[in-house]
Amino acid sequence: MLTFSELARDKLAEFAANSDEENLALKISITGRSGDGFQYDLQLIPPKEQEDSDHVFEVDDWTVIISESSVPYMEGVILEFKETLMGGGFHFENPNPLWIDDVAQRVQVVIDEKVNPAIASHGGKISLVDVCDGVVVVSFGGGCQGCSAVDVTLKHGVEKMICETIPEITSISDVTDHAAGTNPFY
């Protein structure tokens, strides 16, 4: 399943030691995808905070909790910590395809080749979160997060581009927390 580099293991132990909580677990979720790869959410949490649908694994004396939708994409993954001039950070080496599902793969191509170039001039970006039963779930970022025109962009731009290209898609759902943007509702 998942392995840790020695430095990643050391950094996890260091962060856990600096926490007020004891016996922390590592929670990993894939939160988005782009042409650059997967985006991850990585947290140290008390094991009691795991969701019922989460999967639990033991890796190098760590309890690792992986969200259900992320499990198929975690096979063969190596969690590394890379030192940089700015301090460093965790990095995932993931050999898996961005999407296993053919429809999701095609939606990702439309987002990468049509949608994101169209909204880039506004400083925005869209990440594909999931595709389920004909519904595309996206998250807005950059200048689109908190923008007052996001509903127009979603219905008349994003949904139109995706639905015209991929007939299996019936609707688009936005899961962005728009109130948390840099300039929400500008």
pLDDT digits (tens, 9 = 90+) for 7-37: 999 999 999 999 999 899 999 999 888 777 8
In a domain, 186, yes or no: no
Please tell me whether the overall predicted TM-score, pTM, comes out greater than 0.85 for this model: no
Same domain, 84 and 115: no
In a domain, 145, yes or no: yes
Structure tokens given for 125: 């970006």
Asked if 84 and 135 sit in the same domain, the reply is no
Lowest mean pLDDT among 51-65, 77-91, 141-155: 141-155
If one counts every other C-beta atom within 10 angstroms of the C-beta of residue 107, the result is 25
Whether residue 87 sits in one domain with residue 39: yes
**Exposure class string for 130-153: b at 16+ Cβ within 10 A, else e:** bbeeeebbbbbbbbbbbbeebeeb
Range of the domain at 142: 102-180
Q: Which residue has the tokens 């922390």?
A: 24
- For residue 78, tell me if it sits in a domain: yes
Judgement on whether residues 16 and 47 belong to the same structural domain of the protein: yes
| Alpha carbon distance 30, 32 (integer Å) | 6
From 147, 102, 103, select the one nearest 121 (Cα to Cα). Answer: 147
Q: Does the CA dihedral 106-135-125-164 come out positive or negative? A: positive
Report pLDDT for 186: 46
Q: What are phi and psi of 75, to 5 degrees?
A: -65, 125
User: pLDDT higher for 135 or 119?
Assistant: 135
